[in-house]
């Protein structure tokens, strides 16, 4: 609750510290230039900008607790409605990237660390070292250029075609094709993180007596990788997941912009450019709640694992 309260304070204060006034920006358009002073003041009150910061904050807290995130005048729609539309797209990318980077990163790290300094270890570690220097938005641009421009096998951007298919299966395939590149762009950096983590742990495990004895008994293949390496790596992986989720949510803001993907990151950028305080507060609060929820699930999983021993 303390963390959530601090998030509410930050989402309220940070947009108001930005230069510019959303009401002045709105009044500068041709549509609203003829408003009278009384109408402009009424509009300011509706936007939650009337009174002191303390009054605005109390009004904002009451609205958040009641589930009312305000109204975006730029989009002419309630913020909760905009977030309900954008959040599933962001969730699709995040929930698609998590199993991807865990499976690829951990399995590759185990394979490299089982017998270090082999050809696979040298090639994979060299490739991961190069990828570690690339931020997610750079990876996104490279993927876009290669697979959507130079070799156009995947869509250039968006979440679905302009005219989506009516059949549920065909539409699902279209959505997955549009989500593939941004999901991979999100996963690449975390693949590097979990590869290096798993490789280091696997190298240390390979010298442990229980693993040497298992190999002497002829245990190898997937049983060795899953039962002996994977199970011993699980607590370490869960411990790193909290930090990974935070990095992933931060990266999705940039990746969605590169691919024009209609998630919260894309919505957040529009709110910043338009000085839309209400929408910006709601978007940041929505992302924060998503991070807290995923971290809570990770803590529950870690507690259950510790209880089972």
Q: Pick from 68, 95, 110: which residue ends a domain?
A: 68
Q: 172 and 224 share a domain?
A: yes
Q: 294 and 182 share a domain?
A: yes
Structural domain total, the chain = 2
How far apart CA 84 and CA 80 sit, in angstroms, is 6
pLDDT band at 177 (very low <50, low <70, confident <90, very high): very high
Q: 159 and 48 share a domain?
A: no
Q: 286 and 219 share a domain?
A: yes
Does residue 171 belong to any structural domain of this protein? yes
**Confidence (pLDDT) at 74:** 77
**Confidence (pLDDT) at 195:** 95
Mean pLDDT of the chain: 84
Domain that holds residue 51: 2-68
pLDDT band at 38 (very low <50, low <70, confident <90, very high): confident
Q: 260 and 207 share a domain?
A: yes
Interval 102-124: pLDDT, tens: 999 999 999 999 888 899 999 99
Q: 153 and 210 share a domain?
A: yes
Half-sphere exposure of 295 (CA within 13 A, CB side): 17
Does residue 291 belong to any structural domain of this protein? yes
b/e burial code for range 90-115 (CB count within 10 A of at least 16 → b): bebbbebbbebbbebbbbbbbbbbbe
More confident residue, 84 or 24: 84
Mean pLDDT score, 9-33 = 66
Q: Pick from 68, 97, 124: which residue ends a domain?
A: 68
CB 75 within 8 A of CB 164: no
**Confidence (pLDDT) at 164:** 84
**Confidence (pLDDT) at 175:** 93
Does residue 74 belong to any structural domain of this protein? no
Q: 244 and 295 share a domain?
A: yes
**Confidence (pLDDT) at 231:** 86
Query: Any idea what the CATH number is for the domain that residue 290 is in?
Result: 1.10.3720.10
* 3 state SS for 221-280: HHHHHHHHHHHHHHHHHHHHHHHHHHHHHHHHHHHHHHCCCCCHHHHHHHHHHCCCHHHH
Does residue 73 belong to any structural domain of this protein? no
Q: 189 and 251 share a domain?
A: yes
Interval 232-242: pLDDT, tens: 898 889 888 88
pLDDT band at 92 (very low <50, low <70, confident <90, very high): very high
Q: 91 and 113 share a domain?
A: yes
Q: 211 and 284 share a domain?
A: yes
Instruction: Return the C-alpha torsion angle 6, 12, 18, 21, nearest 10.
Output: -170
Q: Pick from 41, 68, 95: which residue ends a domain?
A: 68
Interval 195-207: pLDDT, tens: 999 999 999 988 8
More confident residue, 162 or 143: 143
Q: 282 and 201 share a domain?
A: yes
Does residue 186 belong to any structural domain of this protein? yes
Q: Indicate the SS3 state at residue 35.
A: coil
Q: 217 and 130 share a domain?
A: yes
């Amino acid at each position: 609750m303390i963390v959530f309260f601090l998030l509410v304070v930050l989402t309220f204060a940070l947009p108001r510290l930005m230069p510019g006034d959303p009401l002045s920006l709105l009044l500068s358009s041709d549509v609203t230039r003829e408003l009278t002073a009384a109408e402009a003041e009424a509009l300011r009150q509706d936007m939650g900008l009337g009174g002191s910061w303390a009054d605005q904050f109390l009004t904002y807290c009451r609205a958040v607790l009641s589930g009312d995130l305000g109204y975006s005048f730029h989009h002419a729609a309630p913020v909760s409605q905009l977030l309900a539309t954008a959040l599933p797209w962001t969730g699709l990318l995040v929930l698609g990237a998590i199993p991807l980077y865990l499976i690829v990163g951990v399995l590759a790290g185990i394979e490299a660390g089982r017998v270090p300094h082999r050809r696979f270890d040298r090639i994979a570690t060299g490739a991961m070292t190069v990828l570690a220097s690339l931020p997610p938005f750079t990876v996104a641009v490279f993927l876009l250029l290669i697979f959507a421009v130079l070799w156009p096998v995947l869509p250039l951007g968006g979440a679905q075609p302009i005219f989506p298919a009516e059949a549920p299966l065909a539409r699902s395939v279209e959505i997955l094709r549009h989500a593939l590149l941004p999901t991979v762009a999100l996963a690449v950096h975390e693949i590097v993180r979990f590869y290096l983590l798993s490789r280091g742990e696997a190298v240390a495990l390979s010298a442990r007596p229980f693993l040497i004895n298992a190999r002497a008994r002829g245990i190898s293949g997937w049983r060795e990788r899953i039962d002996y390496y994977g199970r011993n790596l699980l607590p370490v992986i869960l411990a790193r997941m909290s930090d990974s989720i935070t990095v992933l949510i931060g990266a999705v803001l940039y990746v969605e912009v590169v691919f024009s993907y209609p998630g919260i990151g894309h919505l957040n950028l529009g709110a910043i450019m338009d000085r839309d305080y209400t929408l910006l507060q709601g978007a940041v609060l929505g992302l924060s709640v998503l991070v807290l929820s995923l971290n809570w699930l990770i803590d529950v999983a870690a507690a259950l694992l510790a209880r089972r021993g």
